Amino acid sequence: MTSTPITARDRVEELLALQGAGKAADAADLFAAEVDLHIPNSRHLPWVPQEPGSRASMRKLFESLGSLTESRRFEVFIIVGDADNAVVLGEFTSVVLGTGRTVTSKFALWVTLHDGMITRYHMYEDSFAMAQAAR
């Protein structure tokens, strides 16, 4: 009996479930040693590590996001994927804890797998509104 290889869609569903449960370390364990991490204008977001993408930087991202923001709503509209790539479209509402400001943004997340590990994490959101809320 052969096992069915994990698809990018499977992996992104697992990632979202772990993030939603606040399991930053477990979520980071889904990533390869090196990660193509891209969040536009992330230099203005205090929860995004500025070092090159890695499993450790993803853990730092998820931990910081969990301690500096509070998710009020996270809705996935659709996940489209194949063996190696998945794209998630949705919308979230978060509160930046340091300022008390609320932000709602649509988002697109592009995840790529290699040998079952996430190697690309590109998050497109209203990072300008997020940065403004953090100031």
Q: Averaged in consecutive runs of 10 residues, what is the pLDDT profile of the chain (135 residues)? A: 83 96 96 94 79 90 91 96 96 95 97 97 93 89
Q: Is residue 90 part of a domain?
A: yes
- pLDDT, residue 49, reads 82
CATH classification at residue 87: 3.10.450.50
- pLDDT, residue 36, reads 96
Query: How far is Cα 54 from Cα 119, in angstroms, rounded to an integer?
Result: 9
- pLDDT, residue 5, reads 86
- pLDDT, residue 135, reads 87
Range of the domain at 37: 8-134
- pLDDT, residue 52, reads 79
- pLDDT, residue 134, reads 87
Query: How far is Cα 81 from Cα 87, in angstroms, rounded to an integer?
Result: 6
pTM of structure: 0.91
Nearest residue to 110 (alpha-carbon basis) of 22, 15, 24: 15
Count of domains observed in the chain: 1
Query: How far is Cα 125 from Cα 67, in angstroms, rounded to an integer?
Result: 19
